[in-house]
Amino acid sequence: SQELEQSPQSLIVQEGKNLTINCTSSKTLYGLYWYKQKYGEGLIFLMMLQKGGEEKSHEKITAKLDEKKQQSSLHITASQPSHAGIYLCGADGKGYNQGGKLIFGQGTELSVKP
C-alpha cells in the first residue's frame, strides 16, 4: 500500500489559475519534501517542511505542513507553463521505521494550458 498518497494524480489548469496538490501520510511526518520533475529529467528540490503549521514560499509556490504533521499541500498561484511537470512529495522514513531513507508519493502530473 502507498504510505504517502498524493492527490490529484493529474491536473490540467488554464494558465493564470491557482491550484493545490495534496500529500497525505498515515503516520506523523518528521520531514516533508517537495520536488518537481520535468519528464525524463531528475528531481529538483523545492522545499522542506519539518514543523507542524510550517509554511514556506518560493516565488509563486507555497507549501504548508498541517499542525498534526500528517498532511502537506503545495499551492501554486497564477500558474504558468513553466510550472508544468510532475510534483512529488517525499517524507523522512523515520516515521515509517525506515530511517536514512525518503518515502515518496506517486507524483502529481501538472499540465498548464496557455
Tell me how far apart the alpha carbons of residues 65 and 45 are, in angstroms, rounded to a whole number: 16
Q: Is 34:63 a contact under the CB 8 Å cutoff?
A: yes
Q: Is 34 in the site for another protein (CB under 8 A)?
A: no
Which listed residue (17, 58, 68, 101) binds another protein by CB under 8 A?
101
The reply to whether 111 sits near another protein by the rule CB under 8 A is: no
The yes or no reply on residue 100 touching another protein (CB under 8 A) is: yes
Phi-psi region of 21 (alpha: psi -120 to 50; beta: other; left: phi over 0): beta
Instruction: Identify the residue among 33, 34, 87, 96 touching another protein (CB under 8 A).
Output: 33
> Residue 35 interacts with another protein (CB under 8 A)?
yes
